[in-house]
Structure 1
Amino acid sequence: MVKVSVVIPTFNRENYIGRAIESVLNQTYSDYEILVVDDGSTDQTKQKVLEYGDSINYIYQENQGPSAARNKGIQHSQGEYIAFLDSDDCFLPHKLERQVAFMDEHPDCKFQYSWYNHIKVGKKSKKLRTAGTCKNLEHFQFSLYERQFTIRTSTVLIAKECFTDELLFNEKYLYTQDWDMWLRLANYYYGYCIEEPLAEYYSDHGDNRSSLKVNIHHPEIRESILELYGWDNQKIKKLEDKYKIKKF
């Protein structure tokens, strides 16, 4: 068994997949495996991945969407922990070393995320994004629910034991499936934040979903989470007052 399984879902990313893979190969930490799940690419993505030989576990599936690709990676993983890397993003060199050390120092930690650099390719800009640190599990749940900060998928490290048949990415969502996943995980696990950038998130390069300017909130996600947490409007108001959170 390896310590970390890095799951990279991809679809038609021939121009970026090499950069993502190399950001893992250049890690200061070495006890990992890389699983690239190709979600039915029709470009040269497969050929680009196979250039890396045995250092990559390449898995192909017919196009089913990003959630199904991540779930396939989880199911084929051998690691104690799962790290996700979107195929147009990058890990910073010390990401896995820093996160595994944090897990070792905090044995109660099963769910972890970090700050990240947001790189807008078209505008040639980079900005540090500081995902929030919460006071307790309830604060974490409510901050996620109100979307007070974003947990980028490429920043997380999660114990594989957290993923069960009932707790995987919802494959019907093409957008905000990560938000739904973190909310459901937060029903059981507090998210620890490492307050330093450990990944780079790229946008505005024309090929990622953030470039499509689609604004889908999936109200059914909110409804399902209210039911899962056992919250009602009165509880929401109390939480707003308790944590001084204003609705956006």
Structure 2
Amino acid sequence: MPKVSVVIPTYNRGEFTIHAVESVLAQTYKDYEIIVVDDGSTDHTEELLERYKDRLRYVKQENQGPSAARNTGVRLAEGEYIAFCDSDDRFLPEKLEKQMEFIERNPECKFLYTWYYNVNNQGEYTKLRKPNTCNSNEHLQYFLFIRKFTIRTSTLLIHKSCFEKAGLFNEKYWYSQDWDMWLRLAAYYRGFCLEEPLAEYWLHGENRSSLSVRIYHPEIIESTRKLYGWDDQKIAELGEKYGKRRKQGTQSPSKNARNGSNNTDVKGDKSG
């Protein structure tokens, strides 16, 4: 059995998917499997992947959305740990090796994310994203829920048992499904951050458009408040405990948590 299962969900992104696959094949850590879940592509994704058929598992399903594709990969995974590489992202060569070394040094870690680079169409690094390092479940919950801090899916390495406790991705969400998943994971596990860029997030026309319409579903906000047992007073207390002083005229933490945010996940990744 492989130690790590790398799940690559894709939909009509043939060329991008090839680059994602090759970035995994280039890993210095070799005890892994690759599962490509094709969510009903109508382009030439399947044909492009034919030359890799001996080095990965390819599964095609009817188009059901990104959550369903990720869940299919999780269910098929044979590894103890699961990593995701979205089809328009790429791993840097030492990603899995450095994450597994971190986990060996910190055996209590079940949920590990890293820094990453934004990359433009010309392949140039445009920004280094540094998600916050949090020292407790509550600290991570604060950044995820109140500050709308987003963890880039392709930086994660998660013990498979975490999904048994927190559940899988909610398949009715086509946007914010990752935010919802991390909020639920944070109810049970402290997220650890490896403070080194180990993945690339490629920004192009298609995903820029999806970022611009990203929303935070009110039902996610309400279900999370219930899961955490947070009322407005608790949210305000967390804002005082962890938050920086807001500029005059900005929303209070409790109001922001009730109403959600129109921030994109790029904005949500900003530290501080």
Alpha-carbon distance in structure 2 between the residues aligned to 1:40 and 1:207: 17
SS at match of 2:75: helix
Residue 45 of structure 1: how far off its partner (Å): 0.6
Alpha-carbon distance in structure 1 between the residues aligned to 2:13 and 2:50: 14
TM-score under structure 1 length normalisation: 0.95
Indicate whether 1:241 and 2:240 are aligned: yes
8 Å Cα contact 2:175-2:214 kept in structure 1: no
Instruction: Determine the structure 1 residue equivalent to 2:178.
Output: 178
Gaps of 5+ in 2: 247-252, 257-272
Distance 1:211 1:181, change over 3 A: same
Indicate whether 1:49 and 2:33 are aligned: no
Alignment of 1:3-22 (within 5 A): 3-22=3-22
Q: Indicate the percent of aligned positions where both proteins have the same amino acid.
A: 59
Number of aligned positions between the proteins = 246
* Structure with higher helix content: 2
Superposed CA deviations along residues 24-66 of structure 1, whole A, max 9, x for unmatched, are 0000100000000000000001111122121010011100000
SS at match of 2:54: helix
Alpha-carbon distance in structure 2 between the residues aligned to 1:38 and 1:206: 21
Query: Which has the higher mean CA deviation after the structures are superposed, 58-67 or 141-150?
Result: 141-150
TM-score under structure 2 length normalisation: 0.87
Alpha-carbon distance in structure 2 between the residues aligned to 1:185 and 1:120: 31
Alpha-carbon distance in structure 2 between the residues aligned to 1:123 and 1:217: 30
Distance 1:96 1:58, change over 3 A: same
Alpha-carbon distance in structure 1 between the residues aligned to 2:183 and 2:166: 14
Instruction: Determine the structure 2 residue equivalent to 1:221.
Output: 220
Indicate whether 1:146 and 2:125 are aligned: no
8 Å Cα contact 2:176-2:214 kept in structure 1: no
Alpha-carbon distance in structure 2 between the residues aligned to 1:43 and 1:215: 25
Instruction: Determine the structure 1 residue equivalent to 2:93.
Output: 93
Gaps of 5+ in 1: none
Alpha-carbon distance in structure 2 between the residues aligned to 1:91 and 1:184: 25
Letter aligned with residue 238 of structure 2: L
Instruction: Determine the structure 2 residue equivalent to 1:232.
Output: 231
Alpha-carbon distance in structure 1 between the residues aligned to 2:155 and 2:168: 17
